[in-house]
Structure 1
C-alpha cells in the first residue's frame, strides 16, 4: 500500500515538472512583458520637438543669452537729418570750368583755344562779348573788365566743382559742394566774395540744367 502511494506521488511530481518545462519552452517574445510605462526608463530618447515635455523660451537669443527689448530701436521713430558739410567752393577765388572771373580774352584763349563762335550782346552795363565753346559760354565786359560770367550747359564739361556736372541731381550737388546760401525747387545759390554761383534745376526731376558763375553787381 505504501509503494502504491509513493508511485502516485512520484507520477504527480513528474507530471508537474514536465508541465513546467513545456510552459517554459513554448513561450515567445510576444508573451514577454515590458516592465514600466515610461519609454525613457528603457533607454529610449524622446525626439518629439513639439511635445509637452519641451519648454521653449520665446525670448531666447540663439546666439547666446536672451533678447533685450530695451535695446531695440522703436520702429517709425524719426531720424535726425544729416548735417550738410560747409561749401567746398573757393569763395575768395572761384572758378568754373577752369576759368576765373576777370580773365582777359587772351588768357581764356590760351586755356581753351579759339572759340567755336563769338558775338557781341547788349547788356545793362554795356556791350558784352561772348565766346561760345562746346557746352560752355563765357562773357567779357568792355575794356579790361575781363570775364564777367561763365555758364556751363553741357554735361561733358568738367566744372571743377567737386565732380558736379550738368545732369547731376540736386542732392548730389549739395553733398559735393556743400550747403547752399539759398535753395529752392529750381535754384541753388552759393555766395562768394564778389560773385554768385548758381545752379539752375529742373523742378520736376531735380536735375541740374546749367551752372553759372558771374560777378555780383
Structure 2
C-alpha cells in the first residue's frame, strides 16, 4: 500500500500564492513607476493625446428673457458645437459644416464647389474616424492580449473567490486570434464561399460544386 503523507499534499502552491495575469501586469506597471529615468525607449513610447478643446461657458448667448423653446434650441446648438470641437475642428470648419446645406449666394465671391466638397469630405472623414474610435473597446495601453486558453485559465483560476475587478482591464482577448479562429471555422468558410455564389445567375450545379469542394468525402459512402 502507498501511504501519502499530509506534508507532501500540502507542498503544492497555495491559493493565495497563485498569481493571475492581471496581478502580473499590475506588478509590472508598479515596477515601471519606480524607474524615473528618461531613456530612449521612454521617449519612443510617448503617447499622442488629442488636442485640448476650447471651452466656452454656456450662458452669454442665453442671457436675458428666453422662452423654453428658445432656451432648448440654444442648448441643442451648444451641444452640437461641443461635439464638433471634440473632433478637433476649427471654428472655420465648424461654420462650414453647419452651413453645408445652405444655398450659395449668386452675388459676391464664392468658393469653388470642388474645393468646398473637398473640405466637407475632410470633415466627414474626421467624424467617421471619431465614431470608429469611440466604438472600440476601451482598455489600457499596456493591456496584454491573451489567447482563448489563457483567457479560460484566467477566468477559472480564482472562480468563486473575491477578485479585484479592475485587474480584468489589464488583459483582453486577442483580436487577431479571434479573427484567425473565425477564418478557420468551416462554417465561416462555407458562408463566405456561398456569399460569392449567391447571385441572380446561381444554378444548382454551381451550388452542388461548392458543396463538394467545401466538404470533401460527404457524398461518398464509407467502407
Same structural fold, with TM-score higher than 0.5 when normalized by the shorter chain: no
Larger Rg, first or second structure (1 or 2): 1
Higher relative contact order (CA 8 A, sep 6+): 2
What TM-score does the superposition give when structure 2 sets the normalisation length? 0.17
